[in-house]
Structures are given as structure tokens and as C-alpha cells.
Amino acid sequence: MQIDAFAPQYDFVERHRIQIDAPVKRVYAAVRSLDLSDSAIMRTLFGLRGMPTECLKLDGLLKRGFILLDEVPDKELVLGVTGRFWSLSGELQSLDAEGFRSFNQHGYLQSSGTSSSRMNPRLK
């Protein structure tokens, strides 16, 4: 997975898997156009951080400090963020993919996540 290049060592990992009976291109397009604005809990959590509602969409997150670390179209998308997540503002750092990979400043945490899609042989 592409994420391994950005998080070769980590303290915590969480994995989820779901099978979706749809073509990979359609599933990937849905991931790429993710919109969490219908979720009251997400609106509340983002609001508590002072994050505008535009951050409930992927493009909005990318404007506010999240980084598109890597993308293999129709297969995998890797996001990352660096900051002091326990502080009210989060103190998100403005980095690019290489800056994320090499970041080693005391007092900050990094988080990364990936969404990957694989073809189900039963679907064309």
C-alpha cells in the first residue's frame, strides 16, 4: 500500500474493510467526492475546532492543512496531517508530501490514512 512510504513506523493502527458491489471507478469517485456535511456529529466536531463547513469535503480538508500524500487513481488515496491535535486550533502544519515524510519536530503528531479499492472479480 502507498501509505507504507509515509508511515513506515507507527504507534497505532486501525483497519476497516467493506465490500461494495459496484465498479471500482464508481467507488473511487465516491471516495474522492466525500461530503460529511450531512453528519450532525461531524459538523459538531469540526465546529468545535473552529473549522469551516468546507472542511467536511475532501477539497476543504486539503485547503486547511491536510495533505494528499499520494494517489493512484481508481485504486488508492493517502491523506496525512501533522499538528498538535490536542490543542484547540490543532496547530496544523503546512507541509507537502516530502515535508510530511521527513517531519521530525518534537511536540507534534502525525496522522495518515488511506482508502484503497480493489476489483471484485464478480463485477466488471
Domain contains 73: yes
Domain contains 28: yes
Residue 57 has pLDDT above 80, yes or no: yes
* CB 42, CB 36: distance < 8 Å: yes
Confidence of residue 94 (pLDDT cuts 50, 70, 90): very high
Cα 61 from Cα 54, distance rounded (Å): 8
pLDDT at 79: 93
CB neighbours (10 Å) of residue 27? 19
Residue 18 has pLDDT above 80, yes or no: yes
Domain contains 12: no
Cα 45 from Cα 50, distance rounded (Å): 9
Q: Number of structural domains, the chain?
A: 1
Model-level pTM? 0.82
Average pLDDT over residues 91-107: 93
Boundaries of domain holding 98: 2-6+19-116
pLDDT at 48: 87
Q: Which of 44, 86, 51 shows the shortest CA–CA distance to 65?
A: 51
Cα 95 from Cα 12, distance rounded (Å): 22
SS3 123: coil
Confidence of residue 120 (pLDDT cuts 50, 70, 90): low
Residue 49 has pLDDT above 60, yes or no: yes
Average pLDDT over residues 61-79: 92
pLDDT at 107: 96
Domain contains 38: yes
